A and B are shown apart, each in its own frame.
Chain A
Amino acid sequence: MTAEKKTVSIYVMGKQSEVPYGVTIMKAMEYAGYRFIRGCGCRGGFCGACGTVYRKPGNFRLKVGLACATMVEDGMHLTQIPFYPANKAVYNLEALEPTLGTLLKYYPEITRCLGCNQCTRICPQELPVMNYIATAQRGDIEATAHQSFDCIMCGLCASRCPAEIVQYNVGILARRLYGRHIAPRAKHLAERVDEIRAGKFDAELDRLMQMSKEELQKLYNARDIEQ
């Protein structure tokens, strides 16, 4: 049987559809006639809109993937989880201290982690989710920030957590604390901002704005390029 002709059966929330083999769940559902309102976003693995859970016949394991990046398999029973209620703390980042106390104040439930590792198992980005909750429990904000960095906030971790932790919101709090209060500020950036505010480049920009296309083109073609 050639690849183009081969089809597989998938069951979207129980309803059977015959779809081409070798395509993603997202494209297969569209082929089957679905037009997404929820459950579809960037279609490229960045936005977390299309978290999907599925099971295959004869296997008790619950599997997971992004619909835009997971291929259909014969007999797959699936549903998308485009939204999952989450607890999001509201804070004034500027006034916060990058400490364990801050994490515990806003997300005290992180201490309830049972260590079951379901969050790590379900993460479609394959992040060490339970680990970064453990580093958060220790107040290691830098480690939590880096380990959670590739998170797309799809919410599947929170959907599985028996301790009712919203891991991805803990992650973004840690990252913003790290970016604002721990990572050293860029000195060259602050200096450039001061220079701009003092009008250091205004005259040169004025001059460029007045130039004809030909004059600009000449400058452009002659400009030196950093190696």
Chain B
Amino acid sequence: MYTPEMLRLIEVVEQTREKRLQETFPRLTAEEKTNLLRSYHPDYMEGAMRPLKIGPNAGEKLPHAYVDLFESRSMIDADGLSLDDIAYDVDVLVIGGGGAGTAAALLAAEEGADVLLVTKLRHGDANTMMAEGGIQAADKENDSPALHYLDAMGGGGFYNIPELVRALVNDAPLCIQWLESLGCMFSKYPDGTMNTIHGGGTSRKRMHFAHDYTGAEIMRTLRDEARNRGIKVVEFSPAVELIKDERGQCAGAVLYNLETEQFLVARAKTVIIATGGSGRLHINDSPTTNHYGATADGLVIAYRAGAKLIYLDATQFHPTGVAFPEQIVGQLVTEKVRGLGAQLVNIDGEQFIYPLETRDAVSSAIIRECRERQKGIPVPSGYGVWLDSPMIEIIHGKGTIEKELPAMFRQYIRFGINMAEQPILVYPTLHYQNGGILINEFAETQVPNLYVAGEASGGVHGRNRLMGNSLLDIIVFGRRAGKNAAQKAKTVQLGKLTLEHVRRYNEELAKQGLGQRVAPILLPDYRGKISG
């Protein structure tokens, strides 16, 4: 429920709406965008980072929350834990039960591998489930994988690894067709043509969606398929350390049963990390859109095993997190709201940024509007700007919001705000880990037999991911990882299992006076607080 003061300010937004409907705010030039990011993007905030002292990326500056993790010691006693007592012995071990992990497991099983999927929470508990807006693929006549390539590179600041982007855009239509064949209910016209719209930074309307439950629809479909195929799944059992063999190949993982508090050894010929992102580390003390389990576990264990990280210093703040009501601050307001025509508006009812610039730019512009120009709207947690959602009903017809954005509508109506009639208040929120573990186009890391897919990986999105390229990423690289790991497993000969790399990492920490904390943290700790 809005306060009387907010209701008064809404009148200002309503007064300018008719004029704004005719108005297109000019796009940023390349130079303006660079300056905006340098001055206002949280990545450039003084004091937000420090150099990492250990491991393959030693010397590089990362946000404190990551450095804290990488400079933490292992949960396990590398000398005391017996690796002879093997609880699971499989061809392919998939760590993570979100979209990337499940796609990987399905493809690995299709290749004939004996697959085990382990996950920290329930199968399907992942950021995938929460992805609302859509999935990109260049499958319309006026579009091409080359245009998609260009958009993704530009969005990422041209830092993206070309081979990875090529894989992403080339596989995109194949992946949409795979999902269609699994019965995903994409929003379509009566003749079967996909309903597609723009996302921030797209040059063609290539955002496919399933209302605003796109990720949920993909996740539950993949999970149902995994259950139909009889893929073995162990829930509430995160991997807390990778296991290698004496030749330095990745050879499995130590699992930790969260409920019984036992450590269990899983031996595997190949391992796929699909543990997702890290929003629950609350980088810069920011609220986050992320799932409860997004604590970067996979990064920690892969790093100790010698995998290299890339662009982990680039954090994506989603421009439109909930700024009000207080109960749901930080939660996602899908970019699809802007894709359908809603503009961003300041306290005077004026636009201040083209609504579909890339996310880094829109976030920076909102921060500038509130911080420097003092044109934000006061809310209990600070300030926000208006997202003029009723415009959607004017542009596309009454009832569009309930039909196309049912999750958003529900999120607000629960708190007495009808976003079809009233604009909503938004502010940037921690959303996505742009970087991660470096992979190649086969989803391989530099550690033999270790693969990574999805948000845990880095390189494909450069320093800023576009909307709709994450759901795409998890399917493209999940499938690639699953297929390649299964094929590789056919030729792998494992030697004696060892945790020597963990022992050495702990030694190095001790030498430098580090290792007071323990990681991975597995779950955020909100006890005694009102948080998250």
How many residues in A have their beta carbons less than 8 Å from beta carbons of B? 70
Q: Is the CB of B327 within 8 A of A208?
A: no
Choose among A20, A44, A93 the residue that contacts B228 (Cβ–Cβ < 8 A).
Answer: A93
Q: Among A37, A41, A91, A208, point to the contact of B291 (Cβ < 8 A).
A: A41
* B137-181 with Cβ < 8 A to chain A: 137-142, 144-147, 149-151, 153-154, 158, 162-163, 166, 169-170, 173-174, 176-177, 180-181
Smallest distance from the beta carbon of A201 to chain B beta carbons, Å? 5
Smallest CB separation, A219 vs chain B (Å): 6
Q: A213: which B residues are within 8 A, CB to CB?
A: 158
- Say if the beta carbon of B317 comes within 8 Å of chain A: no
Residue in contact with B528 in the complex, picked from A24, A33, A36, A190, CB distance below 8 Å: A33
Contact flag A34-B527 (CB < 8 Å), given A189-B173, A205-B145, A209-B166: yes
Given A42-B130, A45-B407, A208-B149, the answer on whether A37 and B183 have CB atoms closer than 8 Å is no
A27 within 8 A of B: yes
B73 beta carbon closer than 8 Å to chain A: no
Q: Given A45-B410, A208-B146, is A225 in contact with B203 using a C-beta cutoff of 8 Å?
A: yes
Q: Is the CB of B213 within 8 A of A184?
A: no
CB atoms of B523 and A35 under 8 A apart: yes
Residues in A neighbouring B144, C-beta threshold 8 A = 201, 204
- In the complex the two chains form, what is the Cα distance from A192 to B169 in whole Å? 12
* Binary A-proximity of B317-334 (CB < 8 A = 1, otherwise 0): 000000000111001100
**Per-residue A-contact encoding for B72-116, CB less than 8 Å = 1, 0 else:** 000000000000000000000000000000000000000000000
Please judge, given known A-B contacts A46-B213, A149-B185, whether A184 and B192 are in contact too, CB under 8 Å: yes
Which residues on the A side are within 8 Å of B215 (C-beta)?
A: 46
Q: Give the residues from 118 to 133 in chain B that come closer than 8 angstroms, CB to CB, to chain A.
A: 121-122, 124-125, 129-130
CA distance A71 to B415 in the complex (A): 9
CB proximity to B under 8 Å, residues A134-182: 145, 149-150, 152-153, 172, 175-181
Inter-chain CA distance A187–B203, complex, in Å, is 22
A187–B328 CA distance with the chains assembled, in angstroms: 41
Cβ proximity bits A186-207 to B, threshold 8 Å, 1 near / 0 not = 1111101100100001001100
Kindly provide the distance from the CB of B74 to the nearest chain A CB, expressed in whole angstroms.
21
Interface presence of A183 (CB below 8 A): yes
B527 and A192 contacting across the interface, CB-CB below 8 Å:
no
Find the A residue at minimum CB distance from B414.
A69
**In contact, A150 and B406 (Cβ under 8 angstroms):** yes
Q: If the complex has contacts A44-B130, A93-B182, A220-B153, are A189 and B194 also in contact, measured as CB distance less than 8 A?
A: yes
**When A41-B292, A223-B147 are in contact, do A209 and B211 touch as well, CB less than 8 Å?**
no
Most chain A CB within a 10 A radius of its CB, from B142, B221, B258: B221
Q: When the two chains form their complex, are residues A88 and B154 in contact, meaning their CB atoms are under 8 A apart?
A: no
B292–A201 CB distance below 8 A: no
Are A223 and B203 in contact, CB atoms less than 8 angstroms apart? yes
Question: Which residue on B lies nearest to A40, using beta carbons?
Answer: B292
- In the assembled complex, the CB of B119 is this many whole angstroms from the nearest CB of chain A, namely 12
CB of B493, distance to nearest CB on chain A (Å): 34
Q: Is the CB of A47 within 8 A of B124?
A: yes
Give A214 to B462 CA distance when docked, in angstroms. Answer: 16
Give Cα A27–Cα B406 distance, bound, in whole angstroms. Answer: 24
| Interface contact A150-B146, CB-CB below 8 Å | no
Interface flag for A5 (CB, 8 Å): no
A31 touches B236 (CB 8 A): no
Q: Does A56 have its Cβ within 8 Å of any Cβ on chain B?
A: no
Contact partners of A47 in chain B: CB under 8 A: 122, 124-125, 129-130, 216, 291
Is A104 an interface position by the 8 A CB rule?
no
A30 contacts the other chain (Cβ, under 8 Å)?
yes
Across the interface, do B526 and A35 meet the contact criterion of CB distance under 8 Å? yes
A7 CB, nearest partner CB in chain B, Å? 12
The 8 A CB mask of A54-71 against B (1 = contact, 0 = none) is 000000000000000101
Partner of B182 from A27, A31, A176 at Cβ < 8 Å = A176
Is the beta-carbon distance between A205 and B149 smaller than 8 angstroms? yes
Nearest Cβ in chain A — how far from B204, in angstroms?
Answer: 5
A205 touches B192 (CB 8 A): no
A33-B527 CB under 8 A given contacts A179-B180, A196-B170, A196-B173: yes
**In the assembled complex, B245 has its CB within 8 A of some CB on chain A:** no
Q: A23-B327, A150-B407, A216-B158 are in contact. Are A42 and B129 (CB under 8 A)?
A: yes
CB closest chain-B residue, reference A68: B328
Least Cβ distance of A49 to chain B in Å?
Answer: 6
Evaluate contact between B125 and A42: CB separation under 8 angstroms.
yes
Within 8 A of A (CB), among B508-532: 523, 525-532
B-to-A contact residues, CB < 8 Å? 30, 121-122, 124-125, 129-130, 137-142, 144-147, 149-151, 153-154, 158, 162-163, 166, 169-170, 173-174, 176-177, 180-186, 188, 190-194, 198, 203-205, 210-211, 213, 215-217, 220-221, 224-225, 227-228, 230, 236, 258-259, 289, 291-293, 326-328, 331-332, 406-407, 410-411, 414, 523, 525-532
The 7 closest A-B pairs by CB, nearest first: A184-B192, A176-B183, A179-B183, A180-B183, A220-B154, A30-B526, A192-B139
Provide 5 A-B residue pairs closer than 8 Å at the C-beta atoms, listed in order of the A residue. Answer: A45-B411, A93-B183, A179-B185, A204-B144, A209-B162
